[in-house]
C-alpha cells in the first residue's frame, strides 16, 4: 500500500486505512481509544465503494483501557504484533478467516476471560496470551497446527482448553506454562487416544471427549426492563452475562460526572465455558428513561395503563 493510495476514515466507530487501489481495508488505531464492544465486519463502504476488511494493524487496540469485547469478522486474515496488548478487553471472538494470531497479540490483557479462536487459524504466536491472568477457558479452532513459546504462559486462571484440531498441534515446552495440573483438555472423541499418548497434551490433569454439536454458540441475550430495573436472560442455560453502558454513544469517560447526558446504551453478551460467545444485544434508553422511570405497573411499557395507575396512587394518597 503506497502513501498516496491510503485514506484513513472512521466508519461506525472503527478506523480504517483504505487501500483505494486494491479495495481493501486495515483496522488502525482510534484517534482517541477504542471502547466498549467493537465489531470488525468483513466489508465496509465508503464514498460508494466497498472495501474488504483484511487486516488489523500492529498495536491497533493496544492500551485501550475501556475496551470490553471484540468480534473479528471472517474476512480478516491477519493481525499485527501486539494488536490488543495491554488492553482491557474481556471477550474475543476471532473469525474463521484469520490465519495466525500474532506474537504478543493479547499480551498482558489481564481482564480477558474467554477467547474463541476461529477454525482458519493455523498458528498461535509467541506469548500471544502471555499474562492473561483472568482467562478461564479457550476454544482452539480445528486448523491450529502450532502453538508458540509461552503462548499461554502465566494464565493463572486457565482451567479448560478446548482443542478442536484432530491433528495434534505442535507445541513448545512453555506453550502452557509447563503447569498442567489444573488444566482439563477437551478434544473430539476420534482424537482422544492420540492426545492421551502425546506429550505435552498427556500431561493435562484430565482429558475429556467432546462430540459434534457439543460446542455450541450461546443464545443472544434479551434485555428486559421493568420496575426501574434491568435484567438479562438467555435461552442457553447456565450462562454468565457481561454487560456495559455507553453514555451518548461514547464508552470512555473521565472525570467525576457527566453533564446533561441525553441517552445511554446497554450492551450485553453471554458466555459459558465450552461454548462460543453469544452475539451482543443492545438497547438504547433516553436519560431519564420513561420505560425505567414511568412504567408504574411493571409491564415493560409506558402507556395509558400507567396513567391510570398514577391516578390511583394520587387518589389513594389523598
Q: For the chain, what is the radius of gyration of the CA atoms?
A: 23
Mean of the pLDDT values across residues 209-222? 83
- pLDDT surpasses 60 at 292: no
* pLDDT at residue 134, as a whole number: 95
Global confidence as pTM = 0.77
* pLDDT at residue 2, as a whole number: 45
**pLDDT tens, position by position, 223-257:** 887 766 788 999 999 988 888 777 766 654 445 56
* pLDDT at residue 163, as a whole number: 94
Q: Report whether 105 contacts 79 (CB < 8 A).
A: yes
Q: Report whether 142 contacts 210 (CB < 8 A).
A: no
Domain 35-41+55-210 architecture: Alpha-Beta Horseshoe (3.80)
Strand, coil or helix: 189? helix
- pLDDT surpasses 50 at 59: yes
* pLDDT at residue 3, as a whole number: 42
- Lowest-pLDDT range of 152-161, 179-188, 196-205: 179-188
- pLDDT surpasses 50 at 190: yes
Q: Report whether 122 contacts 144 (CB < 8 A).
A: yes
* pLDDT at residue 83, as a whole number: 98
Q: Where are the domains of the chain?
A: 35-41+55-210, 222-317
- pLDDT surpasses 50 at 318: no
- pLDDT surpasses 80 at 50: yes
Supply 201's cell numbers. 497434551
Question: What is the distance between the alpha carbons of residues 222 and 278, in angstroms, rounded to a whole number?
Answer: 11
Q: Report whether 251 contacts 66 (CB < 8 A).
A: yes
- pLDDT surpasses 60 at 302: no
CA triple 265-116-145, angle to 5 deg = 155
Identify which of 274, 40, 315, 9 has the alpha carbon closest to the alpha carbon of residue 161. Answer: 274
Amino acid at each position: 500500500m503506497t502513501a498516496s493510495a491510503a485514506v484513513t476514515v472512521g466508519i461506525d466507530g472503527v478506523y480504517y486505512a483504505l487501500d483505494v487501489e486494491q479495495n481493501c481495508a486495515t483496522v488502525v488505531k482510534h484517534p482517541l481509544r477504542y471502547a466498549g464492544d467493537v465489531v470488525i465486519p468483513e466489508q465496509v463502504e465508503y464514498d460508494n465503494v466497498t472495501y474488504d476488511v483484511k487486516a488489523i494493524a500492529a498495536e491497533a487496540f493496544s492500551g485501550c483501557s475501556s475496551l470490553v469485547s471484540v468480534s473479528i469478522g471472517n474476512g480478516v486474515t491477519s493481525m499485527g504484533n501486539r494488536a490488543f496488548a495491554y488492553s482491557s478487553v474481556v471477550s474475543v471472538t476471532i473469525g474463521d478467516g484469520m490465519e495466525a494470531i500474532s506474537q504478543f497479540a493479547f499480551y498482558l490483557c489481564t481482564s480477558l476471560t474467554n477467547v474463541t479462536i476461529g477454525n482458519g487459524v493455523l498458528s498461535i504466536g509467541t506469548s500471544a496470551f502471555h499474562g492473561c491472568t483472568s482467562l478461564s477457558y479457550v476454544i482452539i479452532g480445528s486448523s491450529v497446527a502450532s502453538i508458540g513459546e509461552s503462548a499461554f504462559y502465566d494464565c493463572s486462571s486457565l482451567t479448560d482448553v478446548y482443542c478442536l484440531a484432530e491433528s495434534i498441534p505442535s507445541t513448545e515446552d512453555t506453550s502452557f506454562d509447563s503447569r498442567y495440573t489444573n488444566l482439563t483438555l477437551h478434544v473430539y472423541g476420534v482424537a482422544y487416544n492420540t492426545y492421551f499418548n502425546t506429550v505435552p497434551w498427556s500431561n493435562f490433569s484430565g482429558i475429556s471427549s467432546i462430540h459434534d454439536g457439543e460446542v455450541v454458540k450461546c443464545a443472544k441475550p434479551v434485555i428486559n426492563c421493568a420496575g426501574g430495573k434491568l435484567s438479562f436472560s438467555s435461552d442457553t442455560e447456565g450462562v454468565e452475562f457481561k454487560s456495559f453502558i455507553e453514555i451518548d454513544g461514547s464508552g470512555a469517560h473521565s472525570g467525576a460526572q457527566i453533564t446533561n447526558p441525553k441517552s445511554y446504551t446497554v450492551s450485553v453478551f453471554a458466555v459459558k465455558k465450552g461454548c462460543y460467545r453469544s452475539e451482543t444485544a443492545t438497547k438504547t434508553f433516553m436519560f431519564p428513561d420513561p420505560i425505567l422511570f414511568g412504567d408504574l405497573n411493571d409491564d415493560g411499557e409506558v402507556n395509558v395503563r400507567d396513567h391510570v395507575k398514577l391516578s390511583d396512587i394520587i387518589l389513594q394518597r389523598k
